[in-house]
Chain A
Amino acid sequence: MDSKITRQEVRHVALLARLELTEAEEQQMTGQMNAILGYMDKLNELDTGEVEPTTHAVELRNVFRPDCVEPSLDRKDSLANAPGTDGVNFVVPRVL
């Protein structure tokens, strides 16, 4: 089976996914992703050139609702599960 994804690419995908893998995880993930992506080659047996993709099982057009304000969670409830808050905002480590 061809190698689908290198260890370096796994490291790059982990960055995109905002994950940090240990050396051991990275090695295992590379092997597993290669096996799984290799299996996906099966789809190339099918000619899908003219086939429309399905992204939703049930056809729906845009769903609109009236543009009006409805009740939403209050600030206290919204902040209740936050790991860092000053009582008004979410607090995060420095950004820059």
Chain B
Amino acid sequence: MEIHSLPLHRIHDLLESRKLGALEIVSAFLERISAIDPKLNSYLAAFSEKAVEQARLFDSGALDYAASPIAGTPIAIKDVICMKGALTTCASRILAGFVSPYDATVTAKLRKAGAIFIGKTNLDEFAMGSSTENSAFLKTRNPWDTERVPGGSSGGSAAAVAAGLCAGALGTDTGGSIRQPSSFCGVVGLKPTYGRVSRFGLVAFASSLDQIGPITRDVEDAAILLQAIAGYDPADSTSVDLPVPDYRAALDHSLQGLRLGIPRQYFIEGTDPEVDRAVREAIDTCRGLGAKIVDITLPHTEYGIAAYYIIAPAEASSNLARYDGVKYGHRAQNSPDLMEMYRKSRSEGFGSEVKRRIMLGTYVLSAGYFDAYYKKASQVRTLIKRDFLDAFEKCDAILAPVSPVPAFKIGEKSDPLQMYLSDVFTLPASLAGIPGISVPCGFTSQNLPIGLQILGPHFREEMVLRVAHQFEQATDFHLRTPRFMI
């Protein structure tokens, strides 16, 4: 088997047994990026020289990464996460040329664990989108069908993992931006509980929702990468000071006796019949593995889209106020005064989806509308969160589709509201702050991947990973590769 099609933990085994050096591995991935990525556009930047330098350092044995399961492996980072000395553009013209003066906490943790950063991946501008079509720089293509989107907003990371252009990647998820592209690209993507992973150095979109998580080739890799980035960070006051369990150790517990909840609101008309069937088959597989399948209800599911698309733009309008052409980023030339400079810089720098969300957010927070929109949405958020808390009285984890449809065609969803509606199955978990994973569970007749979503209670990532791993090991969907891999 070629290196590029191996999961991260197998690559690490090769390094540890000294069958291969980091330089050989990194060079193989870099060659593959230059050969293949021009057709996929998953990377905004590849770090050829620095990655080779890091690999040489690793091979020299000068640094001691004794117990780190990621040391020497090439990792890609979504370009909304800061990396000292590297460009961090958020796929926006307003940050073109911005060089980050510091490392995000997750970047620093991976660096310390010996990860080799191979590049920064494409995304919807400021992570706002579900297809990666909103990148100001590149359109990323789905490795399973290059006429289709990779999903979004972490589309670059998901496509890079699916096409074997890195051993694993980090993405971010505000309303589904890790789970949905992972589903569209046939890889594993985990959104941790809000507060499990530090957001320090993650460029803020919606601060009460944003979380960083792994996108990987299998569930064991997701456990390994989560282990490396999870934990309390004094630099992020919303990170939670709870012990981090051994995620890898939890994987091998069987599903025997576990209660898996099936929310009827996630099996509705409008879902692609092939998606519906694949998810139902996945439920049967879990039953066969000894899980007890229970019907549950999440009655406020249908209100998730409206609540999310008020709350997230409201937070975004506030967070993105910092792009004013003063401290960093694009500044419009020849503005006669400060106000002109602000307005021109922002109008030239932001793309249309970002402007739309800033406008929506500003409107729903403005005098006279706050109660009708923002307060109302925040109350509905409470109801959605309660739905999950009630459901987890009756089950240990929830099984559902990730997206009602498989990867759609580039340009197919040109109406913003239609694009928002496609997030129906990922938004409620984001609003509730609970962890969720997408794991491959089938393919359409056109050979497009389908993802199974597994949701767990707050801070129970080990439960989500365990169910995902047991399901994955009983199936072979994660072993299939797009034609691009060959």
Interface positions of A (Cβ within 8 A of B): 5, 9-10, 13-21, 25, 29, 32-33, 35-37, 39-40, 42-46, 48, 51-58, 60, 63, 65, 73, 77-78, 80-84, 90, 92-95
Contact B327 A81 (CB under 8 A): yes
The docked-state distance in angstroms from the alpha carbon of A52 to that of B382 is 7
The docked-state distance in angstroms from the alpha carbon of A44 to that of B380 is 10
Asked if B292 CB lies within 8 Å of chain A CBs, one says: no
Asked if B307 CB lies within 8 Å of chain A CBs, one says: yes
Asked if B326 CB lies within 8 Å of chain A CBs, one says: yes
Interface positions of B (Cβ within 8 A of A): 97-99, 101-102, 193-195, 208-209, 234, 237-238, 240, 300, 302-303, 305-307, 309-310, 317, 321, 324-331, 335-344, 346-347, 350, 352, 355-356, 358-360, 362-363, 366, 373, 375-383, 385, 415-417, 420, 431-434, 458
Q: Shortest Cβ distance from A55 into chain B, in angstroms? A: 6
Contact B237 A63 (CB under 8 A): yes
The list of the 4 closest CB pairs from A to B, nearest first, reads: A57-B433, A53-B378, A81-B328, A83-B331
**Residues A84 and B331 in contact in the complex (CB < 8 Å), given A63-B237, A93-B336:** yes
The docked-state distance in angstroms from the alpha carbon of A84 to that of B324 is 12
The residue of chain A having its C-beta at the shortest distance from the C-beta of B348 within the complex is A20
- Chain A residues lying within 8 Å of B432, measured Cβ to Cβ, are 57
Contact B101 A32 (CB under 8 A): no
Contact A48 B383 (CB under 8 A): yes
Grouping DSSP codes into helix (H, G, I), strand (E, B) and loop, the A interface class, with mixed when no group exceeds half, is: loop
**Residues A51 and B343 in contact in the complex (CB < 8 Å), given A14-B359, A17-B317:** no
The residue of chain A having its C-beta at the shortest distance from the C-beta of B341 within the complex is A93
A-B contact pairs, 18 of them (CB 8 A): A14-B359, A16-B362, A18-B342, A19-B346, A25-B352, A36-B416, A36-B420, A37-B373, A40-B306, A46-B383, A51-B382, A58-B193, A60-B237, A65-B234, A84-B331, A92-B326, A93-B336, A93-B340
Contact B433 A58 (CB under 8 A): yes
Q: Per a CB cutoff under 8 Å, which of A25, A90, A93 touches B335?
A: A93
Contact A80 B366 (CB under 8 A): no
Q: Shortest Cβ distance from A94 into chain B, in angstroms? A: 6
Q: Per a CB cutoff under 8 Å, which of B240, B366, B416 touches A58?
A: B240
The docked-state distance in angstroms from the alpha carbon of A48 to that of B376 is 7
Apart from A13-B363, A46-B380, A56-B433, what are 18 other A-B pairs with CB-CB below 8 Å? Answer: A10-B359, A21-B355, A32-B356, A32-B416, A37-B363, A39-B305, A39-B309, A43-B306, A43-B307, A48-B376, A53-B378, A57-B433, A65-B234, A81-B99, A83-B325, A83-B326, A92-B338, A95-B337
Contact B309 A36 (CB under 8 A): yes
Contact A19 B343 (CB under 8 A): yes
Q: Shortest Cβ distance from B115 into chain A, in angstroms? A: 24
Contact B326 A43 (CB under 8 A): no
Contact A46 B303 (CB under 8 A): yes
The docked-state distance in angstroms from the alpha carbon of A70 to that of B50 is 30
